[in-house]
């Protein structure tokens, strides 16, 4: 593992039972992710992007191989320690936002901090900061049903970022958004990536996302077919 490596994946295989047979979603993946990367796992539907993200996020386990996240081997984690890993170090952004419908914007963003048993004043400051990052300070009391899709996804980003995790896993974060909202969200995430040095890993096949990536890992039939560093205009 490299010195600033945050995730290390070795010969990862994931098979799902399908009828009487098996479907191989991931087939011998070897990857390393470093701190502060803004990386995308891209590929067509069924290529294994979400499965890989789920295993990194300790929501699923591999059939073979090893995934080490923040120095912890996912396969060896107990339910409790996997939950602790997610609670402290990982943030999730979902395609369908997955906001808690009965909570206000403030309460949705506050939720991960409640799980971390943070005291009330620290929580308040962190939530207000997160709202400021995503530009939703005026929607503090709104409920998800009162927000647009773009606003919901911004709340989801704030919720994922509020605890300042080392890694944010975003599964098709722009799939339900129009172009303008997609660009806004991605610019915001890129800004947070730079300011907080958070590692962002996307599973996507959206070109709008791809153009913001600094590293693009292409997956096809469960295999890495390309792993490229993308240089921005400035870097070039």
Partner 1 sequence: MLALKLAYRNLVGAGLRTWLNVFVLSFTYILIIWQYGMIDGWNYQAQIDMQDWEVGNGQYWQDNFDPYDFFSYEESHAAIPELLQKITSEGKVTPILISQGTIYPDGRLQSMILRGISPNQKVIAIPSSDLNIKSEEIPAIIGQRMANSCKLKQGDITTIRWRDANGTFDAKEVKIVKIFRCDVPMVDAGQMYISLENLQEMMQTPGEATMFVIGKNSAMNDSISGWKYKSREFLMKEMTELIKMKKVGGSVFYLILLLLAMLAIFDTQVLSIFRRQKEIGTYIAMGMTRKQVVGLFTVEGAMHAILAVIVGAAYGVPFLLWQMKVGMSMPAGSDNMGIPIAEKIFPVYGLGLIISTVLLILIITTIVSYLPAHKISKMKPTDAIKGKIQ
Contact residues: partner 1, CB under 8 A: 54, 57, 59-60, 79-80, 83-84, 86-88, 90, 92, 94, 96, 98, 100-103, 107, 111-112, 114-117, 159
Q: Which DSSP letter does residue 177 get? A: S
For partner 1, the closer of residues 27 and 51 by Cβ is 51
Number of other residues whose CB lies within 10 A of the CB of residue 157? 25
Q: Which of 145, 161, 170, 147 is nearest to 110 (CA)?
A: 161
Residue 27: CB minimum distance to partner 1, A:
19
For partner 1, the closer of residues 158 and 212 by Cβ is 158
Residue 2: CB minimum distance to partner 1, A:
27
For partner 1, the closer of residues 144 and 212 by Cβ is 144
Residue 235: CB minimum distance to partner 1, A:
33
> What CA–CA distance (Å, rounded) separates 160 from 112?
8
Tokens of 52: 């890989």
Residue 101: CB minimum distance to partner 1, A:
7
For partner 1, the closer of residues 97 and 133 by Cβ is 97
Widest CA span in the chain:
55
Strand pairing class (21-34; 5-18)? antiparallel
Contact 166, 188 (CB under 8 A): no
SS3 196: helix
Residue 61: CB minimum distance to partner 1, A:
10
For partner 1, the closer of residues 169 and 216 by Cβ is 169
Residue 78: CB minimum distance to partner 1, A:
10
Contact 9, 31 (CB under 8 A): yes
Give the list of residues 6+ apart from residue 99 with CB closer than 8 angstroms, or none.
Answer: 108, 144, 152, 155, 156, 159
Give the list of residues 6+ apart from residue 235 with CB closer than 8 angstroms, or none.
Answer: none
For partner 1, the closer of residues 83 and 229 by Cβ is 83
């Amino acid at each position: 593992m490299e010195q600033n490596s945050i995730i290390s994946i070795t010969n990862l295989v994931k098979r799902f039972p399908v009828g009487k047979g098996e479907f191989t979603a991931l087939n011998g993946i070897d990857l390393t992710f470093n701190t502060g990367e803004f990386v995308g796992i891209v590929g067509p539907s069924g290529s294994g992007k979400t499965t890989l993200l789920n295993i990194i996020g300790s929501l699923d386990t591999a059939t073979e191989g090893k995934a080490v996240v923040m120095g912890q081997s996912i396969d060896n984690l107990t339910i409790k320690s996997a939950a602790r890993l997610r609670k402290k170090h990982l943030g999730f952004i979902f395609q369908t936002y997955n906001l808690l419908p009965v909570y206000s914007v403030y309460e949705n963003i506050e939720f991960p901090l409640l799980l971390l048993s943070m005291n009330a004043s620290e929580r308040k400051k962190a939530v207000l900061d997160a709202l400021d990052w995503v530009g939703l300070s005026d929607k503090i009391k709104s409920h998800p049903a009162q927000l647009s899709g773009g606003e919901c996804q911004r709340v989801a980003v704030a919720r994922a970022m509020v605890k300042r995790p080392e890694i944010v896993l975003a599964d098709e974060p722009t799939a339900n958004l129009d172009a303008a909202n997609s660009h806004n969200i991605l610019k915001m995430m890129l800004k947070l990536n730079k300011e907080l040095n958070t590692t962002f890993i996307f599973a996507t096949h959206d070109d709008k996302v791809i153009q913001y990536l600094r590293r693009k890992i292409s997956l096809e039939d469960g295999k890495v077919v390309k792993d490229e560093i993308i240089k921005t205009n400035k870097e070039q």
